[in-house]
Amino acid sequence: MDLSSYSRQDLIKLRKQVEHELESRRRIDQRSARQELKDIAEKYGMSLADLITGIGSGEGRGPKGEIVFRHPQDPAKGWSGRGRKPKWIKEWEASGRSLDELRQS
């Protein structure tokens, strides 16, 4: 699609129309997905709420690791040493400090 002949105003109008159409299609897709999930839940004798309970809660995973490293000023922040390093750990190391200084006894 060659848009070089369109004026700036025409392009802005076209962008608004495209955004409106994309939002409309997103809502249609959302309704379809919701219906598919309801159908799956019904197939297994569950409600939709039963089906999605536990998604993202870590259900089915092992226990989280114990806190090994603790933030020096904010004891609510801790890290087990597993997985990605939290931002505060990265900042601590970037400042030249040792991770061992944060280790819990």
8-17, 41-50, 58-67: least confident range = 58-67
Please tell me the predicted confidence (pLDDT) of residue 62. 45
Please tell me the predicted confidence (pLDDT) of residue 60. 46
DSSP per residue over the chain, as a string?
---TTS-HHHHHHHHHHHHHHHHHHHHHHHHHHHHHHHHHHHHTT--HHHHHTTTTTTTTSPPPPPP-EE-SS-TT-EE-S-SSPPHHHHHHHHTT--GGGGB--
Please tell me the predicted confidence (pLDDT) of residue 54. 54
Please tell me the predicted confidence (pLDDT) of residue 75. 82
pTM listed for this prediction: 0.45
Domain ranges across the chain: 8-52, 69-102
